[in-house]
Structure 1
Amino acid sequence: MADTSPLIEVASLREQVERAIASRIVAGEVEPGDVLTVPTMASEFGVSATPVREAMLDLARRGFLAPMRNRGFRVTEVSLDELRQLREVRRLLEVPPMRELAGRVPEEAAARLTDLAAEIVRAGDEGRFQDYLEADTTFHLTLLGLTGNRYLVDVVRELRQQTRLTGLAELAETGALTESALEHAELVRLLVDGRGDAAADLMSRHIGHVGGIWSGEHED
């Protein structure tokens, strides 16, 4: 059997670089209009050009970057209309299961979700935005996984990968990031207590932060 470990290593590097660049964009460390080049990023991350180029092409497919001929990749603007549409689709998918799961969260799963909720708060407070995003995604997908519907989990994972947020660093300074992060622990408490309607309402408000506090736009 052929040795595929080099391919696995490249894929792993590509994923790591992609997450790192995406978290910088989300955190506001690089702004719309900034140009990122493969050689510069490869030198900064201490890796070859191949995983960096592949990572940036993936981010271009997700809408975070736009290729520029012979110049690199430009950080794209956020579309508030797209964020609103993604927000509404996520509400349709993620809010109803909260009523289904209320009072049915196993103790072990509740403990896991509570730990993730605490890590989301810590990472936000400490400015570890890549860790914040990864813990946040793991929390939501773990929670939906309790429904036993893998298609639901896969669809929401894809939607979250398309969701473009910006300015986490600024939100952290104002306290809005912590406020949003604390909602995860409250959601777990509501579900454990069997309060399905309250959990659904909280999830709806929480998803409303996408295109809301994230972008400076507030819902009525």
Structure 2
Amino acid sequence: MPVPASGGRARLPEEVRPERTRGEHTHGEPPAPPAVAAHTVRRHSVRGQILRALRSALADGELVPGEVYSAPALGERFGVSATPVREAMQRLAAEGAVEVVPNRGFRVAARGPRELAEIAEVRAMIEAPVILRLARTVPAARWRELRPLACATETAAAEGDRARYAEADRAFHRALLSLGGNAQLVTVAADLHRRSAWPLAAGPAARRADLAADAAQHTALLDALIAGDQEAVRRLVRAHFGGAEV
């Protein structure tokens, strides 16, 4: 659900629009009555939808790097109160996609080529050795289980859906690294991956051809892992991480 052009309103489904009152159960309080519990579920549902919409707008460049956006203004566009927008923006701030501007709102992070190159280098240092190690120990059957995730990246790339591609790409890498059993590494890698997903401060977003090439590398890497071709895995890992030393 992208942010609409100025003057438009992106309405959320009627059944998940938040009420304007507040109130959530906290530790130490008695259980909330059913009506309040239902309200809490709806509120979390709306916040999740707003978060997905904002991530989509970031990936597509609809939220412009360097620009400041207020929660009330975005809430007006979505047809919701400022509260779920503000909560979603706080989550994005924790991820480094936006930064808080006191009394104004949130500024979209402006990542330049150097910062993205540095993030890519760190990702390669973390992910490449893990993939090479797993290539020697994980059986082919486990690699085959990742096939639907690789296919999902190809589908999103073919449709040119940058936001959906970013999520599918992250899901593939997360599932791959999860086979190593190190939850902390998976969390750090996922954070770096998300930080690298937003568009540059200046310049076009990733083209459909770029997405397709990246997705094709997923499929080729998975084929090599299933086949147990260590040399092909090493070559593909190096290519996927921009010529990283492996």
User: TM-score by structure 2 length?
Assistant: 0.72
Q: 1:172: which partner in 2?
A: 207
Q: 1:2: which partner in 2?
A: 31
SS of residue matched to 1:33:
coil
Letter in 2 for 1:138: A
| RMSD over equivalenced CA pairs, Å | 2.8
Residue 234 (structure 2) pairs with residue 200 (structure 1): yes
Calculate percent identity across the aligned residue pairs. Answer: 36
Shift of 1:5: 5.5
Shift of 1:108: 4.9
Question: Which segments of 5 or more consecutive residues in structure 2 lack a partner in the other structure?
Answer: 1-29
Q: Which moved more, 1:49-58 or 1:121-130?
A: 121-130
Shift of 1:189: 0.6
CA distance in 1, matches of 2:41, 2:178: 27
1:137-176 counterparts in 2 under 5 A?
137-166=170-199, 170-173=205-208, 175-176=209-210
Give the alignment partner of residue 36 of structure 1, picking from 60, 69, 79: 69
Q: Cα distance 1:102–1:66, how it changes in 2: closer, same or farther (>3 A)?
A: closer
Question: Which segments of 5 or more consecutive residues in structure 1 lack a partner in the other structure?
Answer: 210-220
Residue 190 (structure 2) pairs with residue 133 (structure 1): no
CA distance in 2, matches of 1:100, 1:138: 20
SS of residue matched to 2:146:
helix
Shift of 1:43: 3.1
Q: Cα distance 1:49–1:109, how it changes in 2: closer, same or farther (>3 A)?
A: farther
Residue 92 (structure 2) pairs with residue 92 (structure 1): no
Greater relative contact order, per chain length (Cα 8 Å cut-off, separation 6+): 1
- Give the helix-richer structure, 1 or 2: 1
Shift of 1:95: 0.7
- Structure label with greater radius of gyration: 2
Aligned residue pairs: how many? 208
CA distance in 2, matches of 1:111, 1:6: 41
SS of residue matched to 1:95:
helix
Q: 1:72: which partner in 2?
A: 105
Q: Cα distance 1:92–1:84, how it changes in 2: closer, same or farther (>3 A)?
A: same
C-alpha contact 2:140 2:228 (8 A) present in aligned 1: no
